[in-house]
Structure 1
Amino acid sequence: MTDPETDPDAHAESDPREQSLFEAPPMAEQERMVEAILFATADPVSLRDLTGRMPHGCEPATALAALRRRYEGRGVNVVRIGESWAIRTAPDLGFLMRHEVVETRKLSRAAIETLAIVAYHQPVTRAEIEEIRGVGVSRGTIDQLLELDWIRFGRRRMSPGRPVTFVVTEAFLDHFGLENPRDLPGLKELRAAGLLDNRPMPGEATDDDEGDGGQGDMFEG
């Protein structure tokens, strides 16, 4: 009988089997894994999370890029949301889900003004929000946006009192189909989403004002 401890041929035959345990699956299989994870997860998934879930040696970034190309032009797309990824309805088909969006995300005027200021001025303190709006911001308005997970606390300002700042969340970016805050929608998109009525926002340019009447002065700076 051959002794695997002393027979070099027996040892050589066992190495490939042992090494196969550490080989990454083919890229096509990695794409399927990424697809399965994104499909089954409601919240966006970070690259780090994908790496932790997939077998050793996988390249989720490469698989994501290939999967994103494969979904181009489909009813759903693989999209980047902040530093994470998700499968979402194609933007041109968003109107099919608008009824549910309007009913579940209808905000008061005070809340949408506050949300818009945070989005376009982040990081921004409560005092700065009040200065832009010209009126005080109730605790209930801030709490509502925090509970919806559309804003979160940012870093404290290195100024007297070290006031806390507010920034938008990945959930906010996800709702509007944005990769990052630089892609924020204008007022027309906010109104089209049912989150804003047709009354002018504080500082918003009107038809009689100069300019294109887009986001308005409140979103500059």
Structure 2
Amino acid sequence: MSAEAARSMPVEHDEVAAPPREARDPALRLLEAMLFAAGEPLDEAIIAARLPEGSDIRALLAQLSADYADRGFNLVRVAGKWMLRTAPDLGFLLARDKPEPRRLSRAALETLAIIAYHQPVTRAEIEEIRGVSTNKGTLDVLLAASWVRLRGRRRSPGRPVTYGTTETFLVHFGLDAIQDLPGLDELRGTGLIDARVSAGLTVPLPSDDPSLKDDEDPLEPEFDLSFSPEPGDDDDFAGGGLSGDDDGR
């Protein structure tokens, strides 16, 4: 046999069988597909209704959370629900491909923080805490973003509207519950509050309980819930869409 013919002959290799893959739990695969396809966070009741009867929801979520702990996206719990979200350490890379968001002005951020910590709160109470008047456009922007909602009416002269935060607020800022907002010690640690401030300074424990308080009445059914910020209002945005701690998902 010529050398050329020998080179043209196929070389036989010992076939090495690949180790069999462990079959993935069908319920886990279905849960994974549901979370991947969902356009919004899913609560455990919805998940349970779509999984095979008898599935251990908590165990499946814990396993999936562990599986994705070191991947490009993680399974996270926000607003008491579950969603897949870009890993925090990669968010800044994806953010480079997104349009530059318009950022809330300082007045809007202060108003949002006051509502989050002091809800239910009226516009007059917001102004008292801030020490300055609040432009109507500021509240309109927060309402339009669905970060703030109208709760009810305060049982006081004029029956002013009370404001509170929404589930969208929790999802956007990656909070499982409103109580996850930083307390006084955490705010001091980040430098947002001077460590030398008065010892009497306190930060209220926030609560977004949807139930109306004793001093609140429900809104009238015909109450106009449509709000639109007026263009050019200098108390809405500081330069360009809504922006918070978005992770680039």
TM-score of the aligned structures, taking structure 2 as reference length:
0.59
Q: Percent identity?
A: 50
Q: Partner letter of residue 83 of structure 2?
A: A
Question: Which of the pair is proportionally richer in helix?
Answer: 1
Mapping for residues 30-109 of structure 1, pairs under 5 Å: 30-99=27-96, 103-109=100-106
The answer as to whether partners of 1:71 and 1:78 remain within 8 angstroms in 2 is: yes
Distance 1:61 1:205, change over 3 A: closer
Ranked by relative contact order (alpha carbons within 8 Å, sequence separation 6 or more), the top structure is 2
Does residue 131 of structure 2 align to residue 134 of structure 1? yes
Q: Give the paired residue count.
A: 178
Following TM superposition, by how much is the alpha carbon of 1:107 offset from its aligned partner in structure 2, in angstroms?
1.0
Give runs of aligned pairs for residues 4-19 of structure 1, distance below 5 A.
none
Is there any run of 5+ residues in structure 2 with no aligned partner, and where?
1-22, 206-249
CA contact (8 A) 1:91 1:177 kept: no
What is the alpha-carbon distance in structure 1 between the residues aligned to residue 130 and residue 197 of structure 2?
Answer: 21
Q: 1:160 to 1:57 in 2, by over 3 A?
A: farther
Q: 169, 173, 177: which one pairs with 2:170?
A: 173
SS of match in other structure, 2:175 = coil
The unaligned stretches of length 5 or more in structure 1 are 1-25, 191-199, 212-216
What secondary structure is seen at the aligned counterpart in 2 of 1:103? coil
* Deviation, structure 1 residue 166: 2.2
Q: CA deviation at 1:49?
A: 1.8
| Per-residue deviation, 1:142 | 1.2
Alpha-carbon distance in structure 2 between the residues aligned to 1:102 and 1:113: 25
1:24-54: CA deviation from partner (whole Å, max 9, x where unpaired): xx98211211111111123111112222333
CA distance in 1, matches of 2:33, 2:120: 35
CA deviations on 1:119-168 (whole Å, 9 max, x unpaired) are 22233222221111112223221121111111223355455655443222
The TM-score, its normalising length taken from structure 1, stands at 0.65
Q: What value does the CA root-mean-square deviation take over the aligned residues?
A: 3.5
Larger Cα Rg: Structure 1 or Structure 2? 2
